[in-house]
Amino acid sequence: MTSNPTKTALITGCSDDGIGSALAIAFQNRGYAIFACLRNPKKATALSNLPNVTITTVDVTSPFSIAAIEEVVRIRTDGKLDVLINNAGQTLSAPLLDSDLDAGRKLFEVNFWGAIAMIQAFAPMLVKTKGVVVNISSMGAIVNYPYIGVYASSKAALTLASETLKLELQPLGVRTITLMVGMVKTKIHDNTPEVVLPEHSYYKPVEDKVKGTTVMEGNMVKWQTPVQKFADEVADDVVKGTEGLIYKGGMSSVLRWSKMLFPASMMVGILKTFSRY
């Protein structure tokens, strides 16, 4: 790493063992100064001793929190930012008929509106550097898998907005990447509340199956991409000037083409097939 980085990256959702933390390491290794953002800085121990990494508290649902980090970055970088990565996110598993709507609205505030708010706040700095926005979406945005409807819908909304932003930001010289994430080895499900269906739920007889959406079942684990390998590939794509939709992570390419070739009703069967072998 260079002693005086010439480029900067701000990454949200940088908790240990997650995609954000791995991306921070990947860009730090490539000579970037990093602003690693998360709600609880105590959960960023992997980044705490790295040079040129500033760990800071940011809640992407709070305008005051976003304004505070915007001021910090503007002062320290002379109003410039090269890379903004919107990675902060939440998960939620439940049949749509049983989903807690208040929890769903809060999830959208993080997964969708939080990303848009960050882009609005840092757009002037990105325009100044002709930088890049990276929005972390999910294959769940295009694959109809039961019991993750609220989460998947938030990522579908982000995907559509991100691809629209690509068109709107191009005239300003800013690239946009929409990262369609497949299976990556992280601890994302550790923070997902356990699914407890109401007694009147139509899905009570298959509650174990519903709960299975919050964990990586069976042999599906072997299809996961190690998180640092995933992050290094993403960083290389950003550095070499890629833009638009990028499919990364285990099974992402298979699911992408399966979605194009098969109806939604067959997708769950395809996933189950891969989980057995």
Structural domains of the chain sorted by starting position, each given as residue range(s) with its CATH number in brackets: 7-276 (3.40.50.720)
Percent of the chain residues topping a pLDDT of 90: 73
Q: Is the pTM of this model over 0.85?
A: yes
**CA nearest 179: which of 242, 240, 117?**
242
C-alpha 87/C-alpha 203 separation (Å) is: 32
C-alpha 277/C-alpha 264 separation (Å) is: 22
Annotated catalytic residue: which of 7, 32, 147, 155? 155
Residues 242-272 have pLDDT tens digits of 999 999 987 666 666 565 665 655 555 555 5
Q: What is the pLDDT of residue 228?
A: 96
Residues 157-193 have pLDDT tens digits of 999 999 999 999 999 999 999 999 988 988 766 666 7
Measured in Å, how far apart are the chain's first and last C-alpha atoms? 42
Residues 223-233 have pLDDT tens digits of 789 999 999 99
Residue 167 burial (CB count, 10 A)? 9
Q: What is the pLDDT of residue 16?
A: 96
Q: What is the pLDDT of residue 107?
A: 98
- Greater confidence, 190 or 23? 23
Q: What is the pLDDT of residue 186?
A: 86
Inform me whether the pLDDT recorded for 1 exceeds 50.
Answer: no
C-alpha 12/C-alpha 28 separation (Å) is: 15
Annotated catalytic residue: which of 32, 151, 166, 185? 151
**112 DSSP assignment:** I
Confidence of residue 110 (pLDDT cuts 50, 70, 90): very high
Q: What is the pLDDT of residue 109?
A: 98
Does residue 202 contact residue 97 with C-beta atoms inside 8 Å?
Answer: yes
Q: What is the pLDDT of residue 223?
A: 78
203 an active-site residue? no
Tokens of 90: 């939440």
Q: What is the pLDDT of residue 263?
A: 61
155 an active-site residue? yes
